[in-house]
């Protein structure tokens, strides 16, 4: 009731905004109160075009050492605050990309500075342990306080890792180990298993597979790359596995207006999933696991309905495959729930949920059955970093104290309404606005138009990311308030008004 009232009020105020937002005029909210926290700036402030002269000189220097083709500009992290990223030329930009969606509560949050300066935490920052063999005394407590306090339903275990790819890579290994243990009836591996694995042959290295989806991104390590299908540049020249790739639903937006067409498209994809599982079983490469993102992110912010995911989960169970939800980009609150898959209302929880980015540490939650049966099967030197758990505990405190998931939902509503408004106003340029919480995207007419909008927005003080072939993606921090949304919409409106 209260939320529908809120939605109505938002709709009314946004209709009003639309009226004042004729091309060239500013997209100004009458309702957004400017509530700048004491630690952050109040607006973007541009001094040069980006990259400015200092960034360009640093690019030249670094270019003598590394490939710098992907670098946008060099940053001054000391001066960056909250939602604003400052570059080395003194340009202050509203950051709607947040280090590829990995900054949970903005730059230099005072709560995190406090963790950093607490003398009790010093040893955790200085002495990075080999967690798999020599964990610190407080490690179990800190896991309970941080990661386990946000464990998705049905998940009783967590394994930390260093990054997103490393988390998925080890999650895949867990699924294979689990699957083979099932096949062997939980007996010990045979002499043949042990001998053959040393020379990469079956049965020790079995012909198992992971089913993934076209457009997916699960990372760039060798195993993960076999499940990544977003851009050729990630995969070119790297040997890969013969694993099944199912079509991901190509839905029409807004989802509510195309429920029948979208349900048909999802049914088509699910049918294909089952066919592929059967085909790969016949090929002698059974599907040990299915991996999927709740929203395909790098691949272009592609959504699917809760019904699709629930049915997919059931298919995995029916065929004895593990169900792995990759929440590396969606996890940590940006969709308005802590985990995006909580929007689905799964009765039968996933088997594995991997995370990284906004969680500050990588890792994965899993069900009891996927616990490795022996040491060193899932292992590396660091297996995460306990100092990141200290930061994560504090991030979670801030999220709870400041009710940031509610904030994300409110800001997300304003952002979506604003994107719909811009799309109506510039139908020749923008289409397919979509999102959940502040995890939003919109398509430009072509990739060149998209890139030009992003470039112009950057020079007007808003730093955006791209994804897919021609999408602009919005990935603000959880502290992105309605006021920031309006700053973003104003700049986008200005850019589009100038766009020829």
Cβ 220 to ligand PLP shortest distance, Å: 6
| E strands in 138-274 | 157-161, 209-213, 245-246
Residue closer to ligand PLP, measured from CB, 50 or 171: 171
Tokens standing for residue 487: 């700053």
Peptide bond into 254 cis (omega under 30): yes
Q: Is 322 helix (H, G, I), strand (E, B) or coil?
A: strand
Give the strands of the sheet with 462-463, arranged side by side: 84-86, 92-95, 462-463
Of residues 71 through 100, those in contact with ligand PLP by CB under 6 A are 100
Which residue has the CB atom at the shortest distance from ligand PLP?
164
Residue closer to ligand PLP, measured from CB, 52 or 336: 336
Catalytic sites, residue numbers: 217, 326, 357, 381
Helix 447-459 vs helix 482-498: angle between axes, to the nearest 10 degrees? Answer: 120
Terminal alpha carbon distance of the chain: 43
Cβ 118 to ligand PLP shortest distance, Å: 27
Residue closer to ligand PLP, measured from CB, 217 or 280: 217
Selected from 328, 390, 408, 415, the binder of ligand PLP by CB under 6 A is 328
Strand partners, 474: 440
Strand partners, 431: 443
Cβ 166 to ligand PLP shortest distance, Å: 7
Selected from 17, 168, 170, 321, the binder of ligand PLP by CB under 6 A is 168
Binding part of the chain for ligand PLP, among 248-256, 263-271, 293-301, 450-458 by CB under 6 A, reads 293-301
Q: Determine the Cα–Cα distance for residues 189 and 146; give it in Å rounded to an integer.
A: 36
How many chain residues bind ligand PLP (CB under 6 A)? 15
Q: Determine the Cα–Cα distance for residues 168 and 222; give it in Å rounded to an integer.
A: 11
List the alpha helices (DSSP H) in 190-292.
Answer: 191-197, 222-225, 232-235, 259-282
Of residues 356 through 375, those in contact with ligand PLP by CB under 6 A are 356
Q: Determine the Cα–Cα distance for residues 354 and 248; give it in Å rounded to an integer.
A: 20
Q: Is 115 helix (H, G, I), strand (E, B) or coil?
A: helix
In the chain, DSSP finds a helix count (H) and a strand count (E) of: 16, 14
Cβ 121 to ligand PLP shortest distance, Å: 24
329 binds ligand PLP (CB under 6 A): yes
326 binds ligand PLP (CB under 6 A): yes
185: left (phi over 0), alpha (psi -120 to 50) or beta: left
| Cβ contact 488:415 at 8 Å | yes
Residue closer to ligand PLP, measured from CB, 293 or 301: 293
169 binds ligand PLP (CB under 6 A): no
471 binds ligand PLP (CB under 6 A): no
Query: Which secondary structure element, helix H or strand E, spans residue 444, and what is its range?
Result: strand 439-444
Residue closer to ligand PLP, measured from CB, 429 or 472: 472
Selected from 52, 164, 215, 476, the binder of ligand PLP by CB under 6 A is 164
Strand partners, 45: 92
Cβ 98 to ligand PLP shortest distance, Å: 12
300 binds ligand PLP (CB under 6 A): no
Of residues 197 through 226, those in contact with ligand PLP by CB under 6 A are 217-219
297 binds ligand PLP (CB under 6 A): yes
Selected from 80, 146, 165, 466, the binder of ligand PLP by CB under 6 A is 165
Name the site residues for ligand PLP (rule: CB under 6 A): 100, 163-165, 168, 217-219, 293, 297-298, 326, 328-329, 356
């Amino acid at each position: 009731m209260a939320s529908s009232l809120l939605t109505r009020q938002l709709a009314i105020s946004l209709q009003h905004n639309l009226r004042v937002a004729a091309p060239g005029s500013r997209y100004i909210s009458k309702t957004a109160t400017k509530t700048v926290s004491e630690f952050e700036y109040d607006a973007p402030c541009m001094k040069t075009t980006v990259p400015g002269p200092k960034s360009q000189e640093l690019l030249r220097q670094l270019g003598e050492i590394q490939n710098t083709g992907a670098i946008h500009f060099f940053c001054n992290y000391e001066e960056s605050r909250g939602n604003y990223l400052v570059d080395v030329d003194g340009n202050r930009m509203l950051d709607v990309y947040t280090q590829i969606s990995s900054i949970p509560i903005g730059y230099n949050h005072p709560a995190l500075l406090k963790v950093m300066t607490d003398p009790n935490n010093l040893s955790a920052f200085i002495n990075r342990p080999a967690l798999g063999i020599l964990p610190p005394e407080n490690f179990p407590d800190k896991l309970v306080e941080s990661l386990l306090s946000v464990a998705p339903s049905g998940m009783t275990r967590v394994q930390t890792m260093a990054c997103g790819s490393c988390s998925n890579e080890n999650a895949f290994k867990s699924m294979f180990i689990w699957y083979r243990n099932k096949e062997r009836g939980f007996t010990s591996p045979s002499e043949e298993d042990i001998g053959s694995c040393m020379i990469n042959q079956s049965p020790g290295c079995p012909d198992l597979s992971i089913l993934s989806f076209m457009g997916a991104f699960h990372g760039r390590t060798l195993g993960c790359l076999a499940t990544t299908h977003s851009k050729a540049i990630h995969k070119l020249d790297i040997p890969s596995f013969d694993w099944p790739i199912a079509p991901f639903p190509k839905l029409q937006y807004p989802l509510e207006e195309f429920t029948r067409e979208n349900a048909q498209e999802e049914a088509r994809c699910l049918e294909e999933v089952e066919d592929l599982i059967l085909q790969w079983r016949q090929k002698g490469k059974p599907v040990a696991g299915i991996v999927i993102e709740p929203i395909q992110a790098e691949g272009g912010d592609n959504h699917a309905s809760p019904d699709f995911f629930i049915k997919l989960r059931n298919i995995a169970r029916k065929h004895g495959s593990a169900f792995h939800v990759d929440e590396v980009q969606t996890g940590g609150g940006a969709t308005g729930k802590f985990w995006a898959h909580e929007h689905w209302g799964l009765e039968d929880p996933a088997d594995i949920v991997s995370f990284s980015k906004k969680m500050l540490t990588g890792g994965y939650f899993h069900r009891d059955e996927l616990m490795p049966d022996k040491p060193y099967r899932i292992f590396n030197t660091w297996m995460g970093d306990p100092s990141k758990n200290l930061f994560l505990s504090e991030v979670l405190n801030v999220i709870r104290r400041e009710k940031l998931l509610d904030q994300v939902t409110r800001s997300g509503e304003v952002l979506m309404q604003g994107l719909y408004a811009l799309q109506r106003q510039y139908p020749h340029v923008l289409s397919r606005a979509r999102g959940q919480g502040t995890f939003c995207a919109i398509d430009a007419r072509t990739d060149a138009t998209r890139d030009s909008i992003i470039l112009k927005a950057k020079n007007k003080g808003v730093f955006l990311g791209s994804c897919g072939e021609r999408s602009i993606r919005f990935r603000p921090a959880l502290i992105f308030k309605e006021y920031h949304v309006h700053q973003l919409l104003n700049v986008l409106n200005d850019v589009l008004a100038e766009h020829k």
